[in-house]
């Protein structure tokens, strides 16, 4: 394989009803950094039927080129059609690196394309870097149940591919004055290759408040909260903090105390809020994976040896059922005084 033929960094922009998902926009920010390190172009890839809004949006986030594939067969995500289009794009333009959001569709697409092209794919990455000597991407991901981090290189094939979890990187600042080269590529997938068809889309129940990944502040409860009813004190603290969402550890979700969309950690959501308050969470590495990059971490736990204190900026050793209500009361009084 002639590696010199493979240039530039691509970010697959997953869309829904013509709008780009946040994970793709997050990856453009990190993609820009990596592309600058290797002195390559940053390119967005958009596949769909009505994608003009997505093209305009990614342009504002600083891409150099936008590859667009349009067709009726791409109206809804399908492994057969999207995988076929992506593989044909790669064969034609030969990117060195492809970043894909680790969503349900992204994981599906990444594996489909990697197998088709017989190249490597690193799944669920939480950090990225570049080896300056070889220009191989260093893909970092949790391994062995999250007890350590593995750094993986795709040294023998191209393109290098990886899926990256949502919330790991922050979006850059959009600038509507930016321009990019829009390259429309005429690719169509024969109907006989499309073995599945979407019959109906049923919208799932949306939370009434913010999801943890959307919030500037996350107040999370763990096993120490003790019950579904006790999560009300976590909710009350979140209610007093503007822009806050309730999060949870896997133990609390597995116990049925809160729904899965609130789970923070390796098998849940990755969050990077300005403030993360961990209440009754021991801080196993699987949970730390999802919140360790928060700007400020406050831990409340009665166990002074809890691992969460090792990464916390502020730690309170105490009974959360005494500490959290007092903290809620103090915030409420402070707001009233203002």
User: Are 111 and 257 found together in one domain?
Assistant: no
Region 42-70: mean pLDDT is 96
Q: What is the pLDDT of residue 17?
A: 86
Q: What pLDDT sits at residue 167?
A: 86
Q: Does 315 belong to an annotated binding site?
A: no
101 labeled binding residue: no
Q: How many domains are contained in the chain?
A: 2
pLDDT above 70 covers what percent of the chain? Answer: 98
Residue 228 falls inside a structural domain? yes
The response to whether 263 counts as a known ligand-binding position is yes
Q: Is 235 annotated as a binding residue?
A: no
Residue 206 belongs to some domain of the structure? no
Are residues 228 and 150 part of one domain? no
Average pLDDT, stretch 84-103? Answer: 97
Pairing outcome for strands 127-130 and 121-125: unpaired
Whole-structure pTM value: 0.82
In the predicted model, what is the mean pLDDT of residues 250-267? 93
Query: Is 266 known to sit in a ligand binding site?
Result: yes
Instruction: Give yes or no: residues 82 and 224 share one domain.
Output: no
Any known ligand binding at 71?
no
Is the pLDDT score of 132 beyond 90?
no
Q: Do 13 and 47 form a contact (C-beta atoms < 8 A)?
A: no
Question: Which of 165, 193, 221 is the last residue in one of the domains?
Answer: 193
Among 18-32, 88-102, 152-166, 199-213, name the one with the lowest average pLDDT: 199-213
pLDDT tier for residue 231 given thresholds of 50, 70 and 90: very high
Residue span of the structural domain in which 68 resides: 3-193
State yes or no: 267 annotated in a binding site: yes
Is residue 132 marked as binding?
no
Q: Which of 221, 223, 224, 241 is nearest to 232 (CA)?
A: 221
- For residues 174 and 224, membership in a common domain is answered with no
68 and 176 belong to one structural domain = yes
Tell me: is residue 249 an annotated ligand-binding position: yes
pLDDT greater than 80 at residue 207: no
Here the CATH number for the domain that contains residue 291 is 3.40.50.1220
CB 312 within 8 Å of CB 288: no
CATH assignment at residue 180 = 3.40.50.620
Average pLDDT over residues 29-55: 96
Residue 333 CB coordination number (10 Å): 11
The verdict on residue 41 lying in a domain is yes
Considering the domain boundaries, does residue 201 fall inside one?
no
Q: List the strands of the sheet with 127-130, edge to edge.
A: 127-130, 137-143, 148-152
Residue 198 maps to a domain:
no
168 and 279, same domain (yes or no): no
More confident residue, 94 or 293: 94
256 shares a domain with 133: no
Q: Is 301 annotated as a binding residue?
A: yes
220 and 184 inside one domain: no
What integer pLDDT is reported at residue 143 of this predicted model?
80
Report the alpha-carbon distance of residue 171 to residue 2 in Å, rounded. Answer: 34
The whole-number average pLDDT for the span 55-67 is 96
Residue 103 lies in a domain: yes
202 in a structural domain: no
Residue 175 sits in the same domain as residue 276: no
For the ranges 92-101, 151-160, 194-203, the lowest mean pLDDT is seen at 194-203
Same domain for 224 and 107: no
Find the helix packing angle between 231-240 and 320-337, rounded to 10°. Answer: 20
State the average pLDDT over residues 156-184.
Answer: 94
Tell whether 265 is in a known binding site: yes
Q: How confident is the model at residue 202 (pLDDT cuts 50, 70, 90)?
A: confident
**What average pLDDT does range 131-148 have in this prediction?**
84
pLDDT of residue 209: 72
**How does pLDDT run across 111-130, given as a tens digit for each residue?**
999 999 999 999 999 899 99
**Is position 205 within any domain?**
no
Q: Which of 276, 287, 279 is nearest to 317 (CA)?
A: 279
Inform me whether the pLDDT recorded for 146 exceeds 70: no
> Taking residues 225-233, what's their average pLDDT?
96
* 300 in a known ligand binding site: no
Query: Mean pLDDT of all residues in the chain?
Result: 93
151 and 258 share one domain: no
127 annotated among ligand-binding-site residues:
no
23 with 109, same domain?
yes
């Amino acid at each position: 394989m002639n590696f010199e033929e493979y240039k530039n960094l691509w970010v697959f922009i997953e869309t829904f009803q013509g709008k780009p998902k946040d994970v793709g926009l997050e990856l453009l920010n990190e993609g820009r950094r990596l592309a600058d390190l290797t002195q390559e172009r940053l390119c967005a890839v958009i596949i769909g039927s009505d994608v003009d809004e997505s093209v305009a949006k990614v342009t504002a986030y600083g891409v150099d080129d936008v590859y667009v594939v349009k067709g009726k067969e791409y109206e809804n995500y399908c492994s057969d059609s999207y995988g076929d289009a992506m593989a044909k794009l790669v064969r034609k333009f030969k990117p060195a690196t492809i970043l894909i959001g680790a969503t349900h569709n992204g994981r599906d697409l990444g594996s489909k394309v990697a197998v088709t092209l017989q190249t490597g794919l690193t799944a669920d990455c939480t950090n990225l870097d570049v080896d300056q000597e070889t220009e191989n991407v260093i893909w970092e991901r949790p391994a062995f149940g999250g007890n350590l981090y593995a750094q993986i290189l795709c040294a023998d094939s191209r393109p290098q591919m990886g899926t990256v979890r949502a919330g790991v990187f922050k979006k850059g600042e959009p600038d509507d004055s930016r321009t990019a080269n829009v390259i429309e590529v005429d690719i169509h997938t024969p109907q006989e290759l499309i073995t599945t068809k979407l019959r109906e889309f049923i919208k799932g129940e949306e939370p009434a408040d913010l999801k943890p990944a959307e919030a500037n502040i996350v107040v999370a409860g763990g096993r120490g909260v003790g019950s579904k009813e006790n999560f009300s004190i976590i909710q009350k603290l979140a209610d007093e903090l503007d822009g806050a969402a309730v999060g949870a550890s896997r133990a609390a979700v597995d116990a049925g105390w809160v729904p899965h969309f609130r789970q923070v950690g390796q098998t849940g959501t990755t969050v990077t809020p300005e403030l993360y308050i961990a209440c009754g969470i021991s801080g196993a590495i699987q949970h730390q994976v999802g919140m360790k990059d928060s700007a400020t971490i406050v831990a409340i736990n009665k166990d002074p040896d809890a691992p969460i204190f090792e990464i916390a900026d502020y730690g309170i050793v105490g009974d959360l059922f005494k500490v959290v209500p007092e903290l809620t009361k103090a915030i409420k009084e402070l707001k009233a005084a203002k």
